[in-house]
């Protein structure tokens, strides 16, 4: 029971990291300090996807599930509903590259908007 709970916690942390890597740049509109945490997270997520690497959280979760005696990801609410979001079916190398590129592009747009907003605040007389 404890190992299964630990695996579920790792799965939730994995999902939260993915969400932060993808959308964390938006939090910089609220708190600028988030940028220093988001940029490395986004870079890591993009590198993992573009290079086809495994995130270290994946083998940790699998190991914890094996210790718990699980054959797979069946049996819990978290595994049933969150697992397909983190490990979608049909995840090919091409899809990984597309996702990595999409994450990087989305965040480039977000940071471009942040830079533009900061520039406009410093140069209000130009408009």
Q: What is the pLDDT of residues 45-68, one digit of tens each?
A: 888 878 878 788 888 888 888 898
Say how far residue 12 (Cα) sits from the centre of its chain.
11
Contacts of 126 (CB under 8 A, 6+ apart): 120
- What residue numbers bound the domain in which 24 lies? 2-126
pLDDT in the model for residue 80: 53
Q: Is 38 exposed, middle or buried (0-12, 13-18, 19+ CB in 10 A)?
A: buried
CA distance 46 to 39: 10
pLDDT in the model for residue 76: 44
Placement of tokens 């908007």 in the chain: 113
Q: Which residue ranges in the chain fall short of pLDDT 50?
A: 74-77
Number of other residues whose CB lies within 10 A of the CB of residue 21: 21
What pTM did the predictor assign? 0.74
CA distance 61 to 59: 5
- Total of domains in the chain: 1
């Amino acid at each position: 029971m404890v190992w299964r709970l630990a695996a579920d916690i790792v799965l939730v942390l994995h999902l939260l990291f993915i969400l932060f890597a993808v959308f964390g740049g938006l939090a910089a509109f609220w708190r600028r300090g988030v940028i220093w945490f988001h940029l490395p997270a986004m870079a890591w997520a993009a590198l993992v996807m573009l290079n086809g690497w495994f995130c270290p959280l994946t083998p940790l979760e699998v190991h914890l599930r094996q210790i718990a005696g699980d054959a797979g990801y069946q049996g819990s609410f978290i595994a049933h509903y969150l697992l397909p979001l983190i490990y979608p079916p049909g995840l090919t190398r091409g899809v990984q590259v597309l996702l990595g590129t999409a994450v990087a592009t989305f965040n480039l747009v977000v940071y471009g908007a942040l830079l533009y907003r900061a520039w406009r605040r410093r140069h209000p007389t130009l408009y």
